Amino acid sequence: MRPADSRSPTRGTHRAALFRRPTLPEAPRRLARRSPPPSKAGQRASHAKAGGHDDTVAFETKVAMAKAMVRRAIADRIPFGWVTADAAYGYSKGWRFELEQADIFHVMATTRHDTVVTRWAIDHPVHDLFPGLPRQKWKRRTCGAGSHGRRIFDWSRVEVRPWHREDRRHWVLARRGVSRPEEISYYIAYCPADTTLDELIRIAGSRWAVEECFQTAKQECGLDDYQVRRYSGWHRHMTLAMAAHACLTVLRARQLDTEKAETDPPSSSISASRKSGA
């Protein structure tokens, strides 16, 4: 999940939207989006009408929109194994609890001020879990490629909520900068008991995959090239750009499949050549 903000060059109005992208290897790399009307109570009536919102478009927080998008993915039977999001969403204990109740595995970024249940306290600050860890508990790993190369950090994890299901685990992950060890980010994870640290790191790093979609959609489909004053105009532009992005994604995938089929020799010929060589 990732929020995107954009500013209209004509009037300086601010638009915010929430985008969802699947990261399965076989999943189409396209975006799904939702956008709320203005949030401040004093602005809702005047700005909503001026921006093209009607009474059927109710205000929702970003966390509420994220919940709705995941619920819809479940209802539509879209296959996914994990949910990951940045701290704006991961800090919501209510959403984490909802995902856990549905037995949906997740790695959610959170703030250093978040608290968890441990053997020692009911509200244990996450940033207090890691200062005393020995050096060997920290593992240097990459969590994927970025615009400036591989994202390499030092990672560690501490188990929390020990009194739970035997086949599930709760972890707090810490991601520490290599050159700036004072910069530490935190994640809350709910996962199967046999999930490795490397797997949790991979899931945490997959959140940046949506950045790839933003870049390609902007460069190829003009996702951010609009000058609108009303919500309906913005909504139409984003929908058209995303539809074009989805179409190009499908065409690109088909082209890659065709090229692979042309370059890979048939399995029968490989078997025949092996027999003749024998």
Question: Could you report the per-residue pLDDT of 130-163, keeping only the tens digit for each?
Answer: 998 999 999 999 887 765 678 899 999 999 987 7
User: What is the per-residue pLDDT for 87?
Assistant: 92
Distance CA 62, CA 64 (A): 5
pTM of the model: 0.70
pLDDT at 229 over 80: no
User: What is the per-residue pLDDT for 199?
Assistant: 96
**207 vs 99: which has the higher pLDDT:** 99
Token pair, residue 81, equals 């194994």
Q: Residue 135: helix, strand or coil by DSSP?
A: helix
Token pair, residue 72, equals 């819809």
Instruction: Among 41-50, 149-158, 195-204, name the one with the lowest average pLDDT.
Output: 41-50
Q: Cβ distance 21 to 31 under 8 Å?
A: yes
Beta strands in the chain (DSSP E): 2-7, 14-20, 32-34, 82-85, 105-110, 115-116, 124-125, 139-146, 149-160, 168-177, 184-192
55-66 per-position pLDDT tens digit: 565 677 888 888
Distance CA 185, CA 140 (A): 14
Q: Cβ distance 28 to 250 under 8 Å?
A: yes
Q: How much of the chain, in percent, has pLDDT values that exceed 70?
A: 72
pLDDT at 207 over 90: no
